[in-house]
Structure 1
């Protein structure tokens, strides 16, 4: 492994999968803002539940699709998952009620994301050893690419053609990517048809268990800022919709170089777990400092810094899981199992943050304290995982 056309073509596949799955998901801030104005009876917490449900299913279904990769079902997972993603996006374009968005945007799109993301990410880890974190970081950088593409589409089209056609254009982007994904995807290792769905023995390893707990706490807080930054800008600083979308664009844009840079650092010097620890602590400090933001300039600075550091955590998460796995034939199951643990954090984190905003009568301080504390605690567990 560690090079060749086939290996790097799998990095391209992972990049396109990340665009379709996490790039679209990282753009939920624009949907949060739109749904808040068009569904006045729905609370911010219930609206953020739609995005949280999508992330939850992305990770939870990933625990199954990871084992499917180990069994040799890479392409069926990618085909079925891409179909569900496309169905979810196009049905979102005709949705009009809250439960429509839950089914289309939350459940259908989330199921599709879970089927494609874990196999496409984990298979890159089987093609690379020395440059694994870099290769997986480039693949994960598709999150930033998608986080630029979809908000730009919304910024250019929402006012001129409306929500429905804007979402359909996004769907066409996903369709084009899916064609390339299905044409280029190739598994490296022969399928291991027999074996448990979950690698339960992994939880007998102290370092793996502590790592899962630490990442649960990190992901509990990580998406609160991505979901609420546009709403915060409009509600607390009285910033117009176009500028609030630009803030989301900036936060997503810096994630691309972040994933590549931290991937290089992980490969050449420190390893992914050692790098995630200070990143989690710094992100916790940023959450606390968010409480002091009271101007547009300060908010842009926060978005750049937070997007860069938080994206490093997200990008190093899969290679960190892989680094704790000695047997490459079980990397899909073990990575997927860790994703399943984290899924419950992503399901509850943003709604808890939204509920804390409501509890504080529209103020964000309680949510900011919650996020900062969770990340600091997560960093502590990762330190314990590293030294155990």
Structure 2
């Protein structure tokens, strides 16, 4: 089966349809859907936006969980007295599985098993979280929180994205960015649940409360979701021909580098604040909540701008570069005020970059029935970057005697290189044209 990268036209920014410039086919999200899909996507309405809400609920769990590992990082360091790099492997395994399972769950979504896949993944998330509340040793936590919960996150993440993608064309970037905003809400709700309930009811019951919250959200998502496309029962688990497409390969390279350095900030911002700036544990967790909370407003904003003016790939490349620059700027933060200011701008930059990850890939995929498979392939590859990133940073910190500067430089550099690869993806789509909406 041949993978498709189809763009009907790439439009010069600021120009009307009459001045559109023909470029090699690569996947504009304003292209008309193939007739094989059935009726044209509604691009709005109660049912369509309800799918966005359901996807936001799933994203709240799928990426709210990994983003809150900084809270667990501090707790496990104090309770288990283990090196940062060893503890980071728990969170890294969780993120790795959340990505790597997307090839399987994406193909299941394309085949029509959307609700079944989400229900099974949700069960593993809730079960793994409840087991985490009972764990007292490192290997137990590794299996429950890292393995079981990570598998569940990966299985449930992809299907709602595929459903939302099928309901929108002209507003696709905005819809997917709004769905991704759920990550920000989950990244605030779940860490706050753990952090502020621990003094009241203890760590085990605080974790159980997070599990019950996840259960409620997953039930709502399953009830709301309504797949629109006919299932694609036949077809490969992996579309190998996609790897022959230059834009797709460059996109994968850029995303790989981006996610290699991304989770360093989430895992270590509160540890840096406590160990270097001498925040209290409670205040350091507040920084993580600020960072995650500030990612919420930036996601729909960049989605709107991508749809209306600049194009998702242009926006993605730019904001990945901005995020890399923020990590370089982190090396100069030495005061409490500076940490609060940094957490605000880091959250905004991170939310913008992550919010554009999905919609930029959607713009490279003309047939929405292949979105699950092609997106899952990318996620499986970048899973290895997410697995290695935080332990790499932890090892750099440990080797530097607890100093964070070289880990910050490393993360900023790899993310900036990811932006360069995404610029290459954009050039492969549109050619060497400066003002083109792609």
- CA contact 2:255–2:418 (8 Å) conserved in 1: yes
1:155, CA displacement in angstroms?
A: 3.1
Taking the aligned partners of 2:44 and 2:413, their CA distance within structure 1 comes to: 41
In the superposition, the TM-score normalised over structure 2's length comes to 0.87
Deviation string, structure 1 residues 232-261 (Cα, Å, up to 9, x no partner): 111111110111011001000011101111
- CA contact 1:293–1:299 (8 Å) conserved in 2: yes
1:100, CA displacement in angstroms?
A: 1.0
- CA contact 2:323–2:353 (8 Å) conserved in 1: no
- In structure 2, the residue matched to 1:10 is 51
Deviation string, structure 1 residues 111-165 (Cα, Å, up to 9, x no partner): 1111111111121111111111111111111111111112222232111211101
Higher-Rg structure is 2
1:65, CA displacement in angstroms?
A: 0.5
Deviation string, structure 1 residues 261-295 (Cα, Å, up to 9, x no partner): 11111111111110011111111111111111100
Deviation string, structure 1 residues 349-370 (Cα, Å, up to 9, x no partner): 0100000000100000111111
- In structure 2, the residue matched to 1:50 is 90
Taking the aligned partners of 1:25 and 1:379, their CA distance within structure 2 comes to: 23
From 152, 163, 166, give the equivalent of 1:126. 166
- In structure 1, the residue matched to 2:279 is 239
Runs of 4+ in 1 over 3 A off after TM superposition: none
**Counterparts in 2 of 1:331-350, with a 5 A limit?**
331-350=371-390
Deviation string, structure 1 residues 4-55 (Cα, Å, up to 9, x no partner): 2221111111011011121122111101111111111x21011111111111
Taking the aligned partners of 2:374 and 2:99, their CA distance within structure 1 comes to: 12
From 79, 84, 88, give the equivalent of 2:119. 79
Structure 1 residue 116 corresponds to structure 2 residue 156: yes
3-state SS of paired residue (2:229): coil
Taking the aligned partners of 1:256 and 1:378, their CA distance within structure 2 comes to: 23
From 14, 18, 34, give the equivalent of 2:75. 34
- In structure 2, the residue matched to 1:260 is 300
- In structure 2, the residue matched to 1:142 is 182
- In structure 2, the residue matched to 1:188 is 228
Taking the aligned partners of 1:277 and 1:182, their CA distance within structure 2 comes to: 33
From 270, 273, 276, give the equivalent of 1:230. 270
Structure 1 residue 175 corresponds to structure 2 residue 218: no
- In structure 1, the residue matched to 2:339 is 299
Taking the aligned partners of 2:315 and 2:185, their CA distance within structure 1 comes to: 23
- In structure 1, the residue matched to 2:351 is 311
In the superposition, the TM-score normalised over structure 1's length comes to 0.98
- In structure 2, the residue matched to 1:23 is 64
**Counterparts in 2 of 1:337-376, with a 5 A limit?**
337-376=377-416
- CA contact 2:57–2:217 (8 Å) conserved in 1: yes
Taking the aligned partners of 1:274 and 1:303, their CA distance within structure 2 comes to: 25
- CA contact 1:122–1:318 (8 Å) conserved in 2: no
Taking the aligned partners of 2:355 and 2:145, their CA distance within structure 1 comes to: 23
Gaps (5+ residues) in structure 1? none
- CA contact 1:28–1:227 (8 Å) conserved in 2: yes
Higher helix residue share: 1
Gaps (5+ residues) in structure 2? 1-40, 429-438
Taking the aligned partners of 1:72 and 1:255, their CA distance within structure 2 comes to: 32
Taking the aligned partners of 1:87 and 1:154, their CA distance within structure 2 comes to: 17
Taking the aligned partners of 1:289 and 1:312, their CA distance within structure 2 comes to: 17
Taking the aligned partners of 1:261 and 1:58, their CA distance within structure 2 comes to: 26
Taking the aligned partners of 2:318 and 2:370, their CA distance within structure 1 comes to: 28
Taking the aligned partners of 1:93 and 1:146, their CA distance within structure 2 comes to: 19
Number of residue equivalences: 387
Structure 1 residue 251 corresponds to structure 2 residue 291: yes
Taking the aligned partners of 2:107 and 2:219, their CA distance within structure 1 comes to: 24
- CA contact 2:256–2:382 (8 Å) conserved in 1: yes
- CA contact 1:321–1:338 (8 Å) conserved in 2: no
